[in-house]
Structure 1
Amino acid sequence: MPFPPPPRIPSGPRRRTLLASAAGAVLLAGCSDAEEDSGGSTGGSPSLSERTRARAALDSRGLVERYDAVLAARPALAGRLAPLRAEVVRHVEAFGGRVSAGASASPSGSASASASASASASVGASASASPGASSAPGDDKSALVSLAAAEKELADRRTTALVEVDGELARLLASVAAAGAVHAYLLTEAAK
């Protein structure tokens, strides 16, 4: 008489167990990222994301001021520069800053004063290192070239900063860096 086949016992975990484990891992990963992004640091110092966001808002504000200086010195360029300046103002706002009627912006209240101070120091250093940052450009072509260089330099710095942050801020930095590169291209073409 033949023996009946042995009952089939699955080897390894069941499908439900695997799905439940995967869902739990996703939830845990989401919690970890949220704590990291929300500034889960202790001691009252701002997180890397907050410092990067504050620096980006101040850098964009500095760029708005450059546009304003060129527009004041070269009103004939208003038709070309006004749309680009408006985009840079939107960048300031996207990073949590504000641009008032006097073209000054302040970072949002979420970033601490120390982050703002260090960011403004870096903006001041980059503005003073840029050619033509403190003086009005000599002619329309040099004004456009100066703005193109400022846009490109800022886009390059933002692209470099992408490796330091993640999530929504990284996507925002990438988007604004790409817009800055396009602005630099348009300004360079207009200068030809």
Structure 2
Amino acid sequence: MPATRTPTSRRAALAVTGAAAAGLLAACSDGTSPQTDRGAAERARAARAEAALRLRTSAASAALRDRYEAVALRHPAVRERLAPLREEAAQHATALAAAPAHLASPPPAPISDDPAEALRELAATARQVSDAHTAALAEAPPELARLLASVAAAGAVHAYLLTRREGS
């Protein structure tokens, strides 16, 4: 005897599919899924990488700030000339830091007794920091990359200003 099929009503079909949908929703109710977990992990990794990059670039600018200060202390005749450049380096260090803070840097190298040589060495340091900021662009997220590009350009200008002769 052939089995007879009971007709399925629309109401019964809706009830079954509604129950299945509710079950699926309940399974995902904690808001996580494999894609969400991967996305959160990737964002956390990117945030850690950006924080490390900010720390590294901010420390380089802080070391340059300290070098400006050391040259100005050793050669008071150039103090006024270096003051705005030192202030910019301090602002760069703060802007690059994840949160504004005083950044300690290693003691600067000895300062030459000759003011012209001290300025050339300071210009070389400014170029090195500028180059380091430029190199960091490759790993920086867009907003930080724009800031780094600006700071690197300012560092190149500092190097130029430090090597040009007074009055030219």
Question: How would you bin the TM-score normalised by the shorter chain?
Answer: 0.5 to 0.7
- Tell me whether 1:140 sits opposite 2:141 in the alignment: no
The one-letter code matched in structure 1 to 2:55 is: A
Take 1:183 and 1:134, find their aligned partners in 2: how far apart are those partners?
A: 19
- Tell me whether 1:74 sits opposite 2:75 in the alignment: yes
Structure 1 unaligned blocks of 5 or more: 1-34, 100-104, 107-119, 128-132
C-alpha change, 1:190 and 1:144, in structure 2 (3 Å) is farther
2:101 corresponds, among 71, 83, 98, to 98
Is the 8 Å Cα contact of residues 126 and 159 (structure 2) preserved in structure 1? Answer: yes
Q: Secondary structure at the match of 2:141?
A: coil
Q: In structure 2, what is the equivalent of residue 174 of structure 1?
A: 149
The aligned runs of 1:54-73 (5 Å cut-off) are: 54-73=55-74
- Tell me whether 1:52 sits opposite 2:53 in the alignment: yes
The aligned runs of 1:23-42 (5 Å cut-off) are: 40-41=43-44
Is the 8 Å Cα contact of residues 60 and 88 (structure 1) preserved in structure 2? Answer: yes
The aligned runs of 1:154-173 (5 Å cut-off) are: 154-173=129-148
Please say which structure displays the higher CA radius of gyration: 2
Flag the structure with higher helix content: 2
Query: Over the residues paired in the alignment, what is the CA RMSD in angstroms?
Result: 2.8
The one-letter code matched in structure 2 to 1:138 is: D
How many residue pairs were aligned?
A: 128
Take 1:75 and 1:135, find their aligned partners in 2: how far apart are those partners?
A: 16
- Which 4+ runs in 1 deviate beyond 6 A? none
Take 2:101 and 2:71, find their aligned partners in 1: how far apart are those partners?
A: 20
